[in-house]
Structure 1
Amino acid sequence: MKLNNLVIIGVAATTVASCAPSKKEYASYELYPVRTGSLAEMEYAPAATQFTLWSPTADEVRLMLYDAGEGGHAYETVAMSPAEDGTWTAKVEQNLKGKFYTFNVKINGKWLGDTPGINAQAVGVNGKRAAVIDMRETDPEDWAEDKRPPLASPADVIIYEVHHRDFSIDPSSGIRNKGKFLAMTETGTVNPDKLATGIDHLKELGVTHVHILPSYDYASVDESRLDENKYNWGYDPQNYNVPDGSYATDPYKPDVRIREFKQMVQALHKAGIRVVLDVVYNHTFNTAESNFERTVPGYFYRQAPDGGFADASACGNETASDRPMMRKYMVESVLHWINEYHIDGFRFDLMGIHDIETMNEIRKAATAVDPTIFIYGEGWAASAPQLAQDSLAMKANTYKMPGIAAFSDEMRDALRGPFNDNRQGAFLAGLPGGEESIKFGIVGAVRHPQVDNGKVNYSKAPWAEQPTQMISYVSCHDDMCLVDRLKSSIPGITPEELARLDKLAQTAVFTSQGVPFIYAGEEVMRDKKGVHNSYQSPDSVNAIDWKRKTEHADVFAYYKGLIQLRKHHPAFRLGDAGLVRKHLEFLPAEGGNVVAYRLKEHAGGDAWGDIYVVLNARKETAKVSVPEGKYTVVCKDGFISEKGLGTMYGPEISVPAQSALIFYK
């Protein structure tokens, strides 16, 4: 989700007064008891299943047991008993495996309605009822042997953002399990010209991390009517701790979605690729009818001064990460995905709504399991949250969150133009003024003596302590993809110019000291027919057409070449702000629309001595002065070869129009 992207779901704000917690017991939310130990609500054993619900303001709580995940009535209702820390418990001494359950909470004489709880880890179709299963039976073969692919440093991360459906739904993908988790387990898939698609394509491209758009159980797609092909990105959470059924081959069987998600992770790990989960803890799809509100009314959401629900997400509510049980919930949820599903990283939607302390607690918990788990997010909100700015996980406060990265809209918009005007171009369109913001991105948003922060578009001070805290990108899912943006901002652009500028944009991304991030399909010149916000557009708009891999073979080869260049040359991923300041030096360039720099003195132990990168967005050749000597060219005119594309001599070199030049001494 993005700052201006306000229409994901249209949930009206509801006042809290209608079902406010009993103030007889707790004068404020800060006084609510915190549940100790795990937040598990269902603990299965063949002899008996233990149920525990945290609902400190409840007068009564009932547990309902069902034979099916939807339809029919409860075959048994069990009264739960009050216990410690505001919990309610019940023990059912039967073998409940295969059964379903919900809770119903009564407050001030009113039953709030059925909920699977806040922490369901298995659900029936559409997530309305939780399921009783043995989680170990969901493990695919050899799951215990599944290992994270090695990662020496966060500087080595290369992210590929993908939606399950986009990736595989087109007939040209050659994938059988179209739109499913299992699509990413299929090897040997090809397009009509026998070029690799699917997981083999990802291996060929060379990315290290696949960032999957929301894959927890979300509310906007009816899992019982998948023939309708209703599309959504999934930024509308329903059950945070269980995979969504629309990406499973059978949404009615609770174990299937869990097992298939694990099979996907396992297959990507075997391919040497880590998996990032997109998490949306900042709001829920429903408000008054949400699992949170039906369990502990008011507690999990922030309130506006008038007592109604605050709405920094522009989706009807904003969660209260600063309250102890919401903080605990988020930490445990992340750990559940790490431990149960072997997830390797997390991207936080509208991270700026969460407080800094919670994000640091999440980082600490993830580090305790594996320090290489990568965490990043959107350092903004849709509107001002109900907390002081200096306590929020906003981009400007990234330096207060070691080991957590944020997206750099400075570099993105300096390259292609502002988010809120698709027709407005920038550096790539030949408009001067974005050079300093691009330099800000090249150094990874850290302090650098040659970056004049007063001239940077959005941030007048560096916000990253380390370059690995900045995500370097030019487009992502909730915006025009790069091809559409170039067409929109440069009227009359030719196909040749489009390919040139596309390559130039990604050269800035992949040679940046930040962590590079690309949107799936950009490497084959994907378009989305000019749709800016395609969150519920049909497959005809969102699907990746894999025939484009044949049509744009040169662009794919260039992206692949950039990734190899970055992987083989540590100068492009120094990973340390001090090293960036020491080894990265910007070169003077006369006039606008040229950014030139060198990575000097075998930066990062690089085998190449001094490496030069020049980005020229002009429609004519640019001249740059360099020391006298002989240089080997490795990137020129839209082609990359580490073995060399020829030699050049100083003291003045020519950079072809609308292209990048990379050479070394």
Structure 2
Amino acid sequence: MNTRTPADWKALFESDAFAQQNTYTGPLGVEYTPAGTRLRLWAPTARQVYVNLYRRGDGGVCIGSLPLEKRGQGLWSVYLPGDQHGRYYTYTLHAGSTSWEAADPYARAAGVNGKRSMIADFARIDPPGWLHDHRPNIPVSHRSVWEVNVRDFSQDPASGVRPAWRGKYLAFAQQGTTLHSDGIHPTCLNYLKRLGVSYVQLMPIFDFGSVDESRSLTRQYNWGYDPAHFNIPEGSYSTDPTRGEVRVRECKQMIAALHAAGIGVIMDVVYNHMYGNDNVLNRAVPYYYFRQNEDGSFSNGSGCGNEFASERPMARRYLIDSVLYWAREYHIDGFRFDLMGLYDVETMNLLRAELDQLPGGQNILMYGEPWQGGVSALHRYEANKNNLAMLNERIGIFCDNTRDAIKGGCFNAREPGYVEGKESALWDIGAAVAAWCRSSALPPHSPGQIVSYVSAHDNFTLWDKLLLVRYKRPEYGAMDSVALAQNRLAAGIYLTCMGLPFWQAGEEFARTKKGQGNSYRSSPALNRLDWQRAQQFHELVDYYRGLIGLRRYFPRLSALDTASPAAIQFFSLEQPLVGWQLPATFGDGALWQALCVFYNPTGQEKTVPLPEGSWKLLSDGISSSLWRGESQIRSGQTVLLPTSATIFGKA
């Protein structure tokens, strides 16, 4: 009988001898051919392994169990002759006097709730035309990211999406949707194409554990930051989670539809922890994949009960293999890492290097949250803000410095930021404009490492935050003129900052969650995108649309070189005004010779001097599309509207 303690397992797994004897480099998971299928499982601590075969993804009896052969380096393997497409399976592992059943951690398809893994011929289940799908070519100057949850995107009955597709992958594939199907006001993919975003960041789409796929979804809801399988799409977003091939096919249909619209797809990946300690990785090799404290207990830097041990060789390999799988098989355009501070720097840099080796891989985006969710037992350099200089220059971070400077601290509902008149924040606003490349507080390799934003799925929506600063009991549904001006100013700042612009879906139409900070398991009604609100606040939507377009025509705002932030010239103005100009780069296709930008967070008009020359008014802080047509030419000085971002281009 095995009597090892958790501390004993820690000592074993972190020993050089274990790594030398059990670091396996060959293929893992399912290797399918019509003539037969090879199954491979890495389970070095098991003494015996059997595969159990089923005809269905749930229910029914086991139709046979076969022993796996033990190979070197911790590998177990079995060959199943004949066409096994559509067969489901689990493993039974024996160690000492105990045995237990497990799904395959390397499975790429599964039955309902991921309990049984599935053998699948992907060539047979891929959607028509999938081989011709490719990542869109998105120039650096066009990059912007719109974050959304698959279910939130279309579950509003007003979305115009057919009922069977609401809250599903396929909602992204329905063309021409409009509000209440009125044929006038665009929604969903139709809306995104008009808005002009270049990337959609999908909140977790790999199989997660907090929603029971076998039950009605009417009252179930979760964002999905509780992964159960890392290589399988979530079943509740498919039209039939009981058939393992459906989620695979429909997830690819979603991606293909976005690609056809010229929009890249970024996956929000949560490799830092799993949904509970009884999970597919722990069942394969108990304790190995998760970081341990000195006494052997699970470290909890995620705040979710466990954290992934990215520094252990086969765990590191698992993470890298999984990301590369999504990039290759699903043509994913970028990866956003949840709690990236829980990974070690070496793993993230190795992953970046591996992505770069793929065809077009250098254009795959990679960024994450540079913090942790609690105290971690990671004793190597963490992939966090403090170690930004150690990360590859094309691994970006969410810049909470920019976020909090613009709108105030996200954890204190009442704390104001620059847009609400906090004068002390103006110094950070200047740093944010230059993507912190000119600040000792957070010096990145290049502006491309900084994700500039003011709202994401966590914490208050921007609209709710603006109202909570000003009112004890806000009316979230009201069209508050001051909050609208502050919202426009916030967008006007981060969409003219260098770096990668990012925002939460619906920020552009004053999305509200009624003052609830984190709605990860709230009602579907609270979380859904309210497409009626998109029409109600259409002028705010148009403001975002104009800024997105304007940014594209001045490529230096998105430049990746350090000379560009150094070229920004800040003006000496009355506080708390901020003003600056940036010359265009010769030959980059900019519509204007230089950009001149002013931020006025006060409630009064302000007169400011303009740099020498003639300047075309591109945005006055209310309309951001003045640049699209004939506009006023000004010189000498100009008047800034109250609570506004004013933008000029050198004529």
TM-score range, shorter chain: over 0.9
Q: Which residue of 1 aligns with 2:294?
A: 305
User: How many angstroms apart in 1 are the aligned matches of 2:216 and 2:62?
Assistant: 27
CA contact (8 A) 2:126 2:249 kept: yes
CA contact (8 A) 2:496 2:551 kept: yes
User: How many angstroms apart in 2 are the aligned matches of 1:227 and 1:628?
Assistant: 61
- Structure 1 counterpart of 2:346, from 350, 353, 357: 357
Measured after TM superposition, the shift of residue 101 of structure 1 is 0.6
Structure 2 vs 1, CA of residues 22 and 632 (structure 1 numbering), >3 Å: closer, same or farther?
closer
User: How many angstroms apart in 2 are the aligned matches of 1:410 and 1:356?
Assistant: 21
Give the unaligned 5+ runs of structure 2: none
Provide Cα deviations, 1:330-389, integer angstroms capped at 9, x if missing partner. Answer: 111111111111111100000110011111111111111121111110011012322246
Q: Which residue of 2 aligns with 1:10?
A: none
Measured after TM superposition, the shift of residue 637 of structure 1 is 3.8
Structure 2 vs 1, CA of residues 605 and 304 (structure 1 numbering), >3 Å: closer, same or farther?
same
State yes or no: 1:597 paired with 2:583. no
Structure 2 vs 1, CA of residues 299 and 432 (structure 1 numbering), >3 Å: closer, same or farther?
same
Structure 2 vs 1, CA of residues 553 and 22 (structure 1 numbering), >3 Å: closer, same or farther?
closer
Q: Is the deviation greater in 602-611 or in 99-108?
A: 602-611
CA contact (8 A) 1:121 1:241 kept: yes
State yes or no: 1:99 paired with 2:83. no
Q: Which residue of 2 aligns with 1:163?
A: 149
- Structure 1 counterpart of 2:200, from 185, 210, 219: 210
Counterpart of 1:621, as a letter, is: E
CA contact (8 A) 1:634 1:645 kept: no
State yes or no: 1:529 paired with 2:519. no
User: How many angstroms apart in 2 are the aligned matches of 1:22 and 1:274?
Assistant: 41
Counterpart of 1:481, as a letter, is: T
Measured after TM superposition, the shift of residue 98 of structure 1 is 1.9
- Structure 2 counterpart of 1:71, from 59, 84, 98: 59
TM-align CA RMSD: 2.1
SS of residue matched to 2:228: strand
Q: Which residue of 2 aligns with 1:173?
A: 159
Provide Cα deviations, 1:250-271, integer angstroms capped at 9, x if missing partner. Answer: 0011110000011111111110
- Structure 2 counterpart of 1:618, from 602, 624, 634: 602
Q: Which residue of 1 aligns with 2:465?
A: 485
SS of residue matched to 1:246: coil
Provide Cα deviations, 1:214-239, integer angstroms capped at 9, x if missing partner. Answer: 00011000001134331111100111
TM (normalized to structure 2)?
0.93
Measured after TM superposition, the shift of residue 25 of structure 1 is 10
Q: Which residue of 2 aligns with 1:280?
A: 270
SS of residue matched to 1:239: coil
User: How many angstroms apart in 1 are the aligned matches of 2:649 and 2:85?
Assistant: 64
Q: Which residue of 2 aligns with 1:152?
A: 139
Structure 2 vs 1, CA of residues 50 and 19 (structure 1 numbering), >3 Å: closer, same or farther?
farther
CA contact (8 A) 2:9 2:287 kept: yes
Counterpart of 1:128, as a letter, is: K
State yes or no: 1:659 paired with 2:649. no
User: How many angstroms apart in 1 are the aligned matches of 2:300 and 2:512?
Assistant: 32
Counterpart of 1:42, as a letter, is: V
Structure 2 vs 1, CA of residues 85 and 660 (structure 1 numbering), >3 Å: closer, same or farther?
same
SS of residue matched to 2:283: coil
User: How many angstroms apart in 2 are the aligned matches of 1:139 and 1:117?
Assistant: 21
Q: Which residue of 1 aligns with 2:532?
A: 547
Q: Which residue of 2 aligns with 1:470?
A: 450
User: How many angstroms apart in 2 are the aligned matches of 1:439 and 1:374?
Assistant: 26
CA contact (8 A) 2:454 2:494 kept: yes
User: How many angstroms apart in 1 are the aligned matches of 2:513 and 2:419?
Assistant: 20
SS of residue matched to 1:266: helix
Q: Which residue of 2 aligns with 1:394?
A: 384
CA contact (8 A) 2:7 2:295 kept: no
State yes or no: 1:132 paired with 2:122. no
Q: Which residue of 2 aligns with 1:424?
A: 415
- Structure 2 counterpart of 1:510, from 492, 495, 499: 495
Counterpart of 1:202, as a letter, is: L
CA contact (8 A) 2:169 2:250 kept: yes
Counterpart of 1:242, as a letter, is: I
Q: Which residue of 1 aligns with 2:48?
A: 60
Measured after TM superposition, the shift of residue 37 of structure 1 is 2.0
Counterpart of 1:596, as a letter, is: G
Structure 2 vs 1, CA of residues 138 and 434 (structure 1 numbering), >3 Å: closer, same or farther?
same
Structure 2 vs 1, CA of residues 19 and 352 (structure 1 numbering), >3 Å: closer, same or farther?
closer
- Structure 1 counterpart of 2:616, from 628, 632, 641: 632
User: How many angstroms apart in 2 are the aligned matches of 1:80 and 1:221?
Assistant: 33
State yes or no: 1:249 paired with 2:232. no
- Structure 2 counterpart of 1:321, from 299, 310, 313: 310
- Structure 1 counterpart of 2:430, from 435, 439, 452: 439
Q: Which residue of 1 aligns with 2:367?
A: 376
Measured after TM superposition, the shift of residue 622 of structure 1 is 2.5
SS of residue matched to 1:78: strand
Counterpart of 2:507, as a letter, is: E
State yes or no: 1:412 paired with 2:398. no
User: How many angstroms apart in 2 are the aligned matches of 1:32 and 1:381?
Assistant: 32
User: How many angstroms apart in 1 are the aligned matches of 2:296 and 2:603?
Assistant: 57
How many residue pairs match? The answer is 633
User: How many angstroms apart in 1 are the aligned matches of 2:13 and 2:622?
Assistant: 68
Measured after TM superposition, the shift of residue 174 of structure 1 is 0.5
Measured after TM superposition, the shift of residue 608 of structure 1 is 1.2
Measured after TM superposition, the shift of residue 95 of structure 1 is 3.2
User: How many angstroms apart in 2 are the aligned matches of 1:201 and 1:131?
Assistant: 36
TM (normalized to structure 1)?
0.91
Measured after TM superposition, the shift of residue 85 of structure 1 is 1.3
Q: Is the deviation greater in 161-170 or in 226-235?
A: 226-235
User: How many angstroms apart in 2 are the aligned matches of 1:653 and 1:490?
Assistant: 29
Measured after TM superposition, the shift of residue 316 of structure 1 is 0.4
Q: Is the deviation greater in 256-265 or in 653-662?
A: 653-662
SS of residue matched to 1:242: coil
Structure 2 vs 1, CA of residues 214 and 589 (structure 1 numbering), >3 Å: closer, same or farther?
same
Q: Is the deviation greater in 95-104 or in 476-485?
A: 95-104
Measured after TM superposition, the shift of residue 647 of structure 1 is 3.0
Counterpart of 2:453, as a letter, is: Y
Provide Cα deviations, 1:36-69, integer angstroms capped at 9, x if missing partner. Answer: 222x222223332211111111111121111221
Counterpart of 1:362, as a letter, is: L
Provide Cα deviations, 1:153-203, integer angstroms capped at 9, x if missing partner. Answer: 3x5321010101111000111111100000000111001352111111111
SS of residue matched to 1:226: coil
Structure 2 vs 1, CA of residues 642 and 27 (structure 1 numbering), >3 Å: closer, same or farther?
closer
Give the unaligned 5+ runs of structure 1: 1-14, 454-459
Counterpart of 2:94, as a letter, is: K
SS of residue matched to 2:161: coil
User: How many angstroms apart in 2 are the aligned matches of 1:508 and 1:101?
Assistant: 53
CA contact (8 A) 2:556 2:584 kept: no
User: How many angstroms apart in 1 are the aligned matches of 2:399 and 2:14?
Assistant: 42
SS of residue matched to 1:238: coil
Structure 2 vs 1, CA of residues 445 and 25 (structure 1 numbering), >3 Å: closer, same or farther?
closer
Taking only the aligned residue pairs, the percentage that are identical comes to 36
